[in-house]
Amino acid sequence: MIYPWTIIDRESFREKEVASFPVYQQFHAARNILSGCKWGIGGSLGFELSTGIPAVKETSDFDLLLYADSPIELPIQAIQSHPAFFEQFDTQVITSKGGFSLKEYLRTPEKKLLLKTTTGPKLTKEIW
């Protein structure tokens, strides 16, 4: 099985072609910033790294996934040390209950958030 966190050490077979693309540069930056954390990638880059089928374009977004089953597992120090990096895209936090936007959580940690679940989206405070 291939999971988003199992492909973070892979390189694109088109590495020279995509090296200047923002999505690929963000991917390499994430490797350094999130070293030691459980994270993964989705979207076109995740698809390309998983399958070997060309999918990344110069305009591709970086789909960053952070895995945390409790607030203490979030890489808060990395997030606070690199705010400009995390502001570039909408990082999804994946928990055992579903997924939610990191930006939304950091703005309003005590309010209800949109949690994407296997049964559909819901507004809730119970994200962990």
Residues spanned by the domain of 25? 4-124
User: Among 59, 80, 87, 71, which residue's Cα sits nearest to residue 125?
Assistant: 71
Question: What are the respective helix, strand and coil percentages of the chain, to the nearest 5?
Answer: 40, 20, 45
Q: What is the pLDDT of residues 37-88, one digit of tens each?
A: 999 999 999 999 999 999 999 999 999 999 999 988 989 999 999 999 999 8
CB 25 within 8 A of CB 61: no
What are residue 93's DSSP bridge partners?
66, 100
User: Among 47, 52, 2, which residue's Cα sits nearest to residue 23?
Assistant: 47
**pTM for this one?**
0.89
Is residue 109 predicted with pLDDT exceeding 80? no
The whole-number pLDDT of residue 90 equals 85
Domains contained in the chain, number: 1
